[in-house]
Amino acid sequence: MRRGAIVRIAGIGIVVAILVTLVAVLIPWLPTPASQEMDRIEFVYWFATVISIAIFSLVMAVIIYSVMTFRSPPEDESDGPSIHGHTGLEIAWTIVPAILVISIGVLSAVVLSQNSSAGTNPLTVKVFAQQFAWRFEYPDNEGIKSGELVLPVDRGITFEMESADVIHSFWIPEMGQKQDLVPGIETSIVITPTRTGTFTLVCTELCGLGHATMRAPVRVLSQPDFAAWVKEQQAGGSKGDPGAAVFASAGCGGCHAFTPAGTNGAIGPNLDNVTASAEKAGQDSAAYVKESIVDPAKVLAPGFASSNMPKDFGDSLSTEEIDALVTYLTAAKQ
Ligand code: CUA
Give the pLDDT confidence score for residue 195 in this predicted structure: 95
Q: Please state the atom number of ligand 1 nearest to the C-alpha of residue 204.
A: 2
Q: How far is the CA of 165 from the centre of ligand 1 (A)?
A: 10
- Range name among 35-39, 64-68, 138-142 with the lowest pLDDT average: 138-142
Per the model's pLDDT, the better-predicted residue between 246 and 135 turns out to be 135
The pTM for the full model equals: 0.75
Is 211 close to ligand 1, i.e. is its CB under 6 Å away? yes
Q: Please state the atom number of ligand 1 nearest to the C-alpha of residue 211.
A: 2
> Could you tell me the residue ranges of all domains in the chain?
2-68+89-115, 123-234, 242-331
Q: Which CATH number fits domain 242-331: 3.20.20.70, 1.10.1660.10, 1.20.1430.10, 1.10.760.10?
A: 1.10.760.10
Is 214 close to ligand 1, i.e. is its CB under 6 Å away? yes
Q: How far is the CA of 208 from the centre of ligand 1 (A)?
A: 7
pLDDT tens digits, one per residue of 262-286: 787 777 888 887 887 777 777 888 8
pLDDT tens digits, one per residue of 56-72: 999 999 999 999 988 88
What are the contacts of 139-145 at 24+ separation with CB within 8 A? 141/230, 141/233, 141/234, 142/234, 144/230, 144/233, 144/234, 145/245, 145/249
Preceding omega of 132 cis (within 30 degrees of 0): yes
Q: How far is the CA of 297 from the centre of ligand 1 (A)?
A: 21
Is 172 close to ligand 1, i.e. is its CB under 6 Å away? no
Q: Please state the atom number of ligand 1 nearest to the C-alpha of residue 168.
A: 1
Computed over every residue of the chain, the mean pLDDT equals 88
CB-count burial class (<10 Å; 0-12, 13-18, 19+) for 294: middle
Residue 248 pLDDT more than 70? yes
- pLDDT over 70, % of the chain: 97
* The domain made up of 123-234 is a member of CATH 2.60.40.420: yes
Distance, CA of 138 to CA of 321 (rounded, Å) = 18
pLDDT tens digits, one per residue of 215-234: 999 999 999 999 999 998 88
Is 161 close to ligand 1, i.e. is its CB under 6 Å away? no
Going by alpha carbons, the residue nearest to atom 1 of ligand 1 is 168
Give the pLDDT confidence score for residue 111 in this predicted structure: 96
Give the pLDDT confidence score for residue 238 in this predicted structure: 47
